[in-house]
Structure 1
C-alpha cells in the first residue's frame, strides 16, 4: 500500500507450534473463522463506525467460534472449569476495560467494553466481574456452553501425562488467544484481546491478555496492538507499553517496535506474536513461532488470511 488506508483492521487467533497435524480443526475452517471475524469488523469500519466497535465485533466472532481458545472453545483449567479473560482499549481517550476469570458471559470482550464504558474501573475479576455482567444485562450461558470436546481431551491428556511423571505444558502446543486492532475512518485506534488462557492452568492464573500495557494497548499517539504467546513473558517485558514508548518517544515505526518488543520476550525465554496498526493506519504482524492465525483488511486492499510463516 503506497498511501495510508482510510480504515484498517487486523485480527489474530493465536499462535504456537503449529503444523498441519496440530491445527485445532480443518485448515479451511480455521481460515473461514478468521475471514468471518474480518467481515464483522469491516462491516463496522466501512460504514464509518468506530474502531472500538470494529474490534469488539471481530473478537466476538472469534469468541463464538469453537476452534479458537476464547469464549466458546476455551481451554479448561486443572479443575475442569473455563475461566475467561478479555480487554478492550480506546486509543482516542485511552480508556480501557478488562475482565479476568469470568465464567458465564458468552462474550467476555463485550463485558470488557462494558467495564470501560459503564464503570469507573479498568479491570474486574472473577465473582465481581460475573456480578457486573449480570447487572449490565449481558448474555449469560451455562458453563457447558463453552465446552468443546477437543479442549476437554487436551486436559485429560495433560492429566494422564502428569500421572506418568511427565510434563505437557500447553505452551508446547498452541497459544490460544484471539485479538483485533483497528483504525477507523476518523483516525482513531482500538485494540481488543480475549482468551481462555492455558490448558490446565491453576491457582487463578491470569496472563497478559487482560493487562493493559502488556498484551493489549491502543493509543492514537502511537499504536494499537494485541498479543498472543507466552503470557508471563509478555507481562515481564511490558510489551504493550514498550511498543507504545518506542513509537512515541524513540521514533521507531510500529513494525520496528514490534520486532524489538518480541525479541525481548524471546530473550526472556518466551515466544509469541503481535498484531498492530500504527497511527497512520498501516497494519502488520510479527511472530516467533512456526505459525499464527491472522488476517488483515483495509479500505484499499484485498483481504489476507494466513496461518503459516511462509505466507508473509
Structure 2
C-alpha cells in the first residue's frame, strides 16, 4: 500500500434476500442506507483518519437506521425486549472491546469502544455494561427508541407459527465494518440485535472477539454475519486472519475456505475482510448479503444479491 491509500468494507447482514421477494423500491432503500454508512466511514479515511474511527462512524449510521438489525430496528427477544451486542477491535495492538445484552445505550458500538479504551476489560454484559455506559457519559435512550413495528410483527409471526428462535425471515441482520487506513492499520467493528425470539440471554458471535469480529495489522480485519452458534464454534474471524498470517493465503482464499467450513457444519452467513494490501473481499454462502466497499482509488459500490 502506498502511504495515502485506504480501503473500507461494510455489511448489513446476510440471508435469503433475492430479487424475487425484494421490490425495486426496497432495493433502492437498502442500497441508499448502505451508501450512507459507506460514505460516513470513507469520509474519515479520505481525510487521513484512523481505521478505528472509520469503522465506528460507519456502524453508528447502520445502528441508527431501522432497516438493519442493530441499534434502532433491532429484533425482539422472545420476551419482547431489544437486547444489543457489539464489538470493536484495533489491529495495531489487538486491543478490543465488546458488550452484550444492553437495552438503553443508543449506539452499542460506542460503548464497545469505551470498554476497549477506558476500562481494564474486554467484554462487559447487561446491567454492568449499562452502568459503565452511564459513567462514560454515553447517550442513553428509552427502550422504545429501538422498537419498530416490523420487528414486533416478526416476533408475533414467530410465536404464532411456533417457530424456533431463528429469524422468521431467515436473515441475519448483523452490521459490520472493516477498514485499513492510510497508515496501514486495520480495524473491525460489529453490532447486532441478535435473533428474533432469542431466549435465555443467548449471545451470538457478533460481540465475541475472534468469532464475529477480529483485527490484526499482520493479517486483516474481519466482521461476520450469520448463524452465530456456528461462527463461534469455527472461530471464523480469527481463523481467517490466522490463515492469512500463517499460511500466506490471500483474503479471498482464506475467507472462502472458512465460510465453506461453516457451511459443512450446517451454518449460513458471510464475512467482509480488509487486508493491509488494500484488498477488500466478501464471502457468503447465502443468496444475498447487504454489503459495500470503498477505497482511495475511487471505488464506491453497494450490492445486495450474490453475483452483483
TM-score tier after normalising by the smaller chain length? over 0.9
For the Cα contact (< 8 Å) 2:165–2:198, is it kept in 1? no
For the Cα contact (< 8 Å) 1:9–1:180, is it kept in 2? yes
1:290 aligned residue (287, 290, 295): 287
SS at match of 2:150: helix
For the Cα contact (< 8 Å) 1:49–1:184, is it kept in 2? yes
Cα distance in 1 for residues equivalent to 2:284 and 2:119:
34
SS at match of 1:73: coil
The superposition leaves residues 6-59 of structure 1 with CA deviations (integer Å, 9 ceiling, x where unpaired) of: 000000000101124655982111001100001100111011110000000000
SS at match of 1:293: strand
Aligned to 1:224: 221
Is 2:39 aligned against 1:39?
yes
**Alignment of structure 1 residues 90-169 onto 2, 5 Å:** 90-162=90-162, 166-167=163-164, 169=166
TM-score (norm 1): 0.95
For the Cα contact (< 8 Å) 1:12–1:293, is it kept in 2? yes
For the Cα contact (< 8 Å) 2:165–2:199, is it kept in 1? no
Structure 1 residue ranges, 4+ long, deviating more than 3 angstroms after superposition: 2-5, 20-25
Alpha-carbon shift at residue 301 of structure 1 (Å): 2.7
The superposition leaves residues 117-168 of structure 1 with CA deviations (integer Å, 9 ceiling, x where unpaired) of: 1011100000000000000000011000101110000000001111xxx557
In the alignment of these two chains, the number of paired residues is 307
Alpha-carbon shift at residue 244 of structure 1 (Å): 1.4
Aligned to 1:255: 252
The superposition leaves residues 146-193 of structure 1 with CA deviations (integer Å, 9 ceiling, x where unpaired) of: 01110000000001111xxx5573175201100000000011000000
Aligned to 1:72: 72
Aligned to 1:177: 174
The superposition leaves residues 239-298 of structure 1 with CA deviations (integer Å, 9 ceiling, x where unpaired) of: 112111111111111111101110111011001010001121211111100000000000
Structure 1 pair 21/64, CA: closer, same or farther in 2 (3 Å)? farther
| Structure 1 spans left out of the alignment, 5+ residues | none
For the Cα contact (< 8 Å) 1:85–1:210, is it kept in 2? yes
The superposition leaves residues 71-100 of structure 1 with CA deviations (integer Å, 9 ceiling, x where unpaired) of: 000000000000000000000011000000
Cα distance in 2 for residues equivalent to 1:4 and 1:259:
29
Structure 1 pair 266/143, CA: closer, same or farther in 2 (3 Å)? same
| Structure 2 spans left out of the alignment, 5+ residues | none
Cα distance in 2 for residues equivalent to 1:300 and 1:136:
38
Aligned to 2:187: 190
Aligned to 2:277: 280
SS at match of 1:26: helix
Cα distance in 1 for residues equivalent to 2:251 and 2:291:
17
RMSD of aligned C-alpha atoms? 1.7
Aligned to 1:207: 204
Cα distance in 2 for residues equivalent to 1:214 and 1:5:
30
For the Cα contact (< 8 Å) 2:87–2:113, is it kept in 1? yes
Cα distance in 2 for residues equivalent to 1:128 and 1:305:
37
TM-score (norm 2): 0.96
